[in-house]
Amino acid sequence: MTHAPNGRAAAGAGGRVVVIGGGPAGLMAAEAALRAGAAVELFDAMPSVGRKFLMAGRGGLNLTHSEPLAAFLSRYGERRREIEPLLAAFGPDDLRAWAAGLGVETFVGSSGRVFPTEMKAAPLLRAWLRRLRADGARIHVRHRWLGWDAAGRARFATPAGEIAVAADACVLALGGGSWAKLGSDGAWPPILTARGVAVAPLKPANCGFDADWSAHFRDRFAGQPVKTVALEFAGESRRGEFVITETGVEGSLIYAFSARLRDAIAVDGAAICHLDLLPDRDARSVAAEVARPRGGRSLSSHLRGRLGLAGVKAGLLRECLAPDAFADAAALAAAIKALPVRLARPRPLDEAISSAGGVDFAALDAGLMARDLPGVFCAGEMLDWEAPTGGYLLTACFASGLVAGRAAAEHARRSAR
């Protein structure tokens, strides 16, 4: 340790900054504060930092997206106005240049998503931590933040007992409420609300949904992908794929609509989306093939032979469509192009890729400092915003960390005079 229990963080001519949380936002806040001249100590509750970041990179680390900035900004929905200034400070191109500075080159995939050439998060994280330590960051793991003591010092539970650390500024980058086993346990809201900081309840984002499948459908199709479909909800349609789970649905196409589906369920008790099972076939040709005489063939054989409709897609038809509709060629054809699927509940918060809710932007100034807690800054997923997968989450986490870190260093410098 670089401080004694109940002591003060390591001194620096530019003031002292404590960063709490070792995910991308916290690490970027530490880097930004160091470069602005502050002495920085970073604390994380887990045995090592960046655990959720590493998990995100297991299937290929999607750092950001290459689409035009206007389209990129639109992915933040109702929070575009709050996120845009953060991305002006550190946007997608800046993120790629920053990674290159760590010796990690990136490339643009066929979908426009940006990945490291090695695809993994671990090489980037190792290089980043080496540079942070070389620049003077002091990193402490197994330190769980407990709030502040009466003197305004940050309290931590450690394997050696509780300590308190004083600093000139503090950056909180504690994550949201998903994947608690990786560190984002959502335990922090009561601490901030007790200090008068407005925090919206945490909700699942980029999540799956329960569909209350029948036992027959669940046993036969759970785990199977549904490929090349289009999902329509609330006036928007998008092509993609998803996976049938034991409880319902999950996957990239579902995540793209998860915020609207979740909010609709909260209001109406359920959400009805529509699946085009054959998006490459127009409605007229589908109707003609369904109505074509089938002789002695079963309906299943007819649909498979004339339309290639079989397997899990045929199973979805049987699961979601009333039996009498199969006797009506027009109704069956219409369902193939717009099959109603009822979603009953979002999956639990801890299963979600990310979370919505968090610290209200109205409670923060332009530097992400809490208006009612001078010297306390917030960054990353603990802020009240959400975005779809595709690199948008990580980019905004990095950007908010940089803005908060710079502002914290400036606050610390003034306070240390």
pLDDT tens column, 145-159: 999 999 999 999 999
Torsion, Cα 130 135 139 145, to 10 degrees, reads: -130
pLDDT at 3: 37
Asked whether residue 217 carries a pLDDT value surpassing 50, the answer given is yes
pLDDT at 18: 98
Asked whether residue 412 carries a pLDDT value surpassing 60, the answer given is yes
pLDDT at 180: 87
pLDDT at 295: 82
Mean pLDDT value of segment 58-75: 93
Residue pair 204/347 in contact (Cβ under 8 Å)? The answer is yes
pLDDT at 1: 29
pLDDT at 59: 75
- Outline where DSSP puts E strands in 34-168: 39-43, 64-65, 106-108, 113-116, 138-140, 144-148, 154-158, 161-165
| DSSP 3-state of 169 | strand
Instruction: Provide, rounded to the nearest whole percent, the portion of the chain with pLDDT above 70.
Output: 97
- pTM listed for this prediction: 0.90
Mean pLDDT score across all residues of the chain: 93
Asked whether residue 129 carries a pLDDT value surpassing 90, the answer given is yes
pLDDT at 2: 34
Asked whether residue 8 carries a pLDDT value surpassing 50, the answer given is no
Q: How many residues does the chain have?
A: 417
Q: What is the pLDDT of residues 15-56, one digit of tens each?
A: 999 999 999 999 999 999 999 999 999 999 999 999 999 988
- Outline where DSSP puts E strands in 167-256: 169-172, 199-205, 209-210, 225-233, 236-244, 248-250
Per-residue pLDDT band for 58 (boundaries 50, 70, 90) equals confident
| Superfamily (CATH) of domain 16-204+356-416 | FAD/NAD(P)-binding domain (3.50.50.60)
**Between vectors from CA 354 to CA 352 and to CA 170, what angle results, nearest 5°?**
140
pLDDT at 182: 87
Q: What is the pLDDT of residues 86-114, one digit of tens each?
A: 999 999 999 999 999 999 999 999 889 99
Asked whether residue 186 carries a pLDDT value surpassing 60, the answer given is yes
The two three-digit tokens of residue 407, written as one number = 């502002």
Q: Give the residue range(s) of CATH 3.50.50.60 domains in the chain.
A: 16-204+356-416
Asked whether residue 267 carries a pLDDT value surpassing 90, the answer given is yes
Asked whether residue 70 carries a pLDDT value surpassing 70, the answer given is yes
> In DSSP terms, which residues pair with 339 in a beta bridge?
275
Mean pLDDT value of segment 185-198: 96
Q: What is the pLDDT of residues 323-366, one digit of tens each?
A: 998 989 999 999 999 999 999 999 999 999 999 999 999 999 99
Q: What is the pLDDT of residues 233-262, one digit of tens each?
A: 999 999 999 999 999 999 999 999 999 999
Buried (b) or exposed (e) across 142-166, using 16+ Cβ within 10 A? ebbbeebeeeebbbbebeeeebbbb
pLDDT at 13: 63
